[in-house]
Amino acid sequence: MVIPILDFSLILPEIIVVATALVVLLIAIFGRGQNAGTLILLSLVGLAAAIIATVIGWSGNATGFNGMVVDDQFSRFLRLILLSVTALVVLLSYQDLEDKRRAGEYLTLLLFAAFGMMIMVLGADLLMIFLGLETMSICLYVLAGFHRRATSNESSFKYFILGAFSTGFLLYGIALTFGVTGSTQLPLIHQKFAEDPAAMGALAYAGLGLILIGLGFKIAAVPFHFWSPDVYDGAPTAITAFMITASKAAAFAALIRILTGAFFDLNVDWVPVLWVLAVVSMTVGNLVAIAQSNIKRMLAYSSIAHAGYLLVGLVALDAQGASAIMYYLMIYALMNVGAFAVAILINYRGKGWYQFDAYRGAGYRYPFLGAMMAIFMLSLAGIPPTGGFMAKFYLFGAAVKTGHITLVVIAVLNSAISVYYYLRVLVLMYMQPEGEANPVPRSALYSLVLVICAAGVLGFGLFPGAMITLVGQSLPML
């Protein structure tokens, strides 16, 4: 079978990312005296080229590779989020890399993980989504243990064991779905259920349930969240930021594809399940985050709560709900990458514990970092005029529109709870006596990351109209 050249043009950004990863790997293997800065620059050039390729091919919708991938504005918008987050994490990685001589393998794994995520958002076939997810996961298993210390090794091993277990659920769910419908392509599965309602029997529900379990692990929704706090805490901080933002975006994109493209006729049954998952995730995440004394673990439980908020958009899965999820993912990525960038700098030359005590008086010792952290914490709490407020307003508005008033009330109450532990960081920085001084490097790269993230959080909060219009035009096409 000959694959048309046009099909390869649909995945040009993915080809560029893979080519960049291979070049970085070859230079790292055969180069003599290469430095991390050169490899980081090369990675950024490749990611920029992939972003340009995505923007150039923005218009039109097309499927390729015998219907296994779909190139539409939904996938392009998610690609831009993934590529942008990857570029920001590459910038963060210079300071977080303990051994600069291993930069080549680190960046190669990071780029291949981004490639896997991009395949997930392109997937119009359950097997294609699975292949993208596994490519992403294998790279993240290694990256989570990249620091040569006990906690990092433990996080990698725990992530690998539980990740392999969740993969089994996902693959079994795909097998059951194939057994019921005779296909793994999302449009054909939907067509089978529409033409033959009798096919929506116990096996179809079992298949959907197992798929939700597998992807629920990747988004760290309760009760599939037990791995996330330890893994996020032990992983290199830049990789933690990458997992919390990019992998969650890819998993939610896959969920939207699957639920709208294949199982939408079963929505009467899966909506109540997602309703419960949303309530439990946001409540458990927020309540446990209050008790944390470590900034990384606090942000880990915060990410579980935000998974609950995003599930609210899945419950209200109409056009506004899907676009609200995309808008939320973009803002969520900016404020979390920024928060982790500040955490890396405050912990510089520290022991890797990321304790809250390090933030005592930090707003006065490091005015720029204090101001940046204040923006990100206020946005995570959903306080206007930040992007976090607009993202929640848009997301909860979609749920209200579809009649899920009770769910929105619970979500708003949870947002109020979250204000406590987000503002706790600001209280420590500005209202507590100064703690032990910790030297912080002057890094142009980190300053650039912080300015980009803060500008996005404030800009999309104050002027959300153009971006909301764009995401409203970027709905999934299957």
Looking at residue 231, its pLDDT comes to 86
Residue 426 in contact with residue 377, Cβ under 8 Å? yes
Name the helix (H) or strand (E) containing 395: helix 387-401
> What pTM was estimated for this model as a whole?
0.91
**pLDDT confidence tier of residue 454, bands split at 50, 70 and 90:** very high
First to last CA, the chain: 24
- Cα 435 → chain centroid: 33
Burial label for 454, CB within 10 Å (0-12, 13-18, 19+), is buried
3 state SS of 80: helix
Average pLDDT on 105-133 reads: 92
Lowest mean pLDDT among 120-129, 204-213, 399-408, 441-450: 441-450
Spatial neighbors of 43 by CB under 8 A, at least 6 apart, are 20, 24, 90, 107, 110, 111
Residue 197 tokens, joined: 């309602």
Tokens in use for 315?
Answer: 């419950």
CA 310/CA 315 separation, integer angstroms = 9
pLDDT digits (tens, 9 = 90+) for 301-354: 999 999 999 999 888 877 677 888 889 999 999 999 999 988 888 876 555 567
- Which residues, in sequence order, are CB contacts of 137 under 8 Å at separation 6+? 116, 163, 167, 218
Please give the full DSSP string across 124-164, using - where no structure is assigned.
SBHHHHHHHHHHHHHHHHHHHT-SSSHHHHHHHHHHHHHHH
Please give the pLDDT value at position 95: 67
DSSP 8-state assignment for residue 294:
B
Whether 102 shows a pLDDT value over 80: the answer reads: no
Mean pLDDT of 403-424: 91
Helix and strand numbers, DSSP H then E, in the chain: 21, 2
pLDDT tens-digit readout, 180-214? 888 888 888 888 887 777 667 788 888 888 999 99
User: Does the structure show a pLDDT above 80 at 97?
Assistant: no
Q: Are 249 and 117 in contact (CB under 8 A)?
A: yes
Under DSSP, the state recorded for 3 is: P
Residue 112 has pLDDT above 70, yes or no: yes
Specify the pLDDT at position 404: 87
Burial of 364 (0-12, 13-18, 19+ CB in 10 A): exposed
Q: Which residues of 154-163 are buried (b: 16+ CB within 10 A; e: fewer)?
A: bbbebbbebb
CA distances from 243 to 238, 248, 344, 403 (A): 9, 7, 16, 33
Question: pLDDT at position 437, please?
Answer: 60
CB atoms inside a 10 Å sphere around CB 314: 23
Q: What mean pLDDT is reported for the chain?
A: 85
- For residue 90 the two structure tokens come to 């590459």
